[in-house]
Structures are given as C-alpha cells and as structure tokens.
Amino acid sequence: MSVRFGEFTLDLEASRLTGPEGEVRLRPQAFRMLEVLVQSAPRILSQEELLDQVWGVEHLSPASVKQAISEVRQALGDDPGHPRIIETV
C-alpha cells in the first residue's frame, strides 16, 4: 500500500519514502514515526501515543519523539517554524 502526501509517496510495503528527487532515506524509527503520522492523519497524536506506536514496550523518553519528528521534518524539507506537513500543537 502506498500513500501520497504533497510531493511524497510513502510505500508501506517496501518501507520506502520517495520525493521529487528520488528515494529519501530515514532511520527505521523515523520511518515508523512518519508511517504512524500518515496513517493517523488528520488526528492529533500525543507524545505518549507516538511512543507507544513507534517504540512499543521499549518506551524511551519524549526526547526520542522530538528527535524522530525532527529527522522526518528534515527529510521532508518541512520548516518547524512554518510547517506544511507536520505540525506540533
């Protein structure tokens, strides 16, 4: 299954993100974060929900969520000051 958003395609079966310039590489946790966000849109997810869905029982700190979100934003070219794709509320 593939999901398109903006200029990007997220291929869930192949665990691949492609954009206008080709494949975009993400660490597994960042890819999983993007997958959870895309599949949950437009619902707002709490840090706790993101920790549960991305890391499961291996609960890390909220800083792990921030790091993964930052990595995804960078890969998508999304400015955290003026987000187009991922918004923190």
Q: Residue 5 domain-assigned?
A: no
Q: Residue 65 domain-assigned?
A: yes
Q: Residue 87 domain-assigned?
A: no
Q: CA-based Rg of the chain, rounded to a whole angstrom?
A: 12
Collapsing DSSP states into helix, strand and coil, what is residue 15? coil
Does residue 42 have a cis bond before it (omega within 30 degrees)? Answer: yes
As for how many domains the chain has, the answer is 1
Q: What own/partner pairs with CB < 8 Å and gap ≥ 24 does 48-51 have?
A: none
CATH number of the domain encompassing residue 40? 1.10.10.10
pLDDT in tens, 17-32: 999 999 999 999 999 9
Residue from 57, 81, 80, 67 nearest 26 by CA: 67
Q: Residue 7 domain-assigned?
A: no
pLDDT in tens, 42-52: 999 999 999 99
pLDDT band at 59 (very low <50, low <70, confident <90, very high): low
Structure letter (DSSP) for residue 80:
T
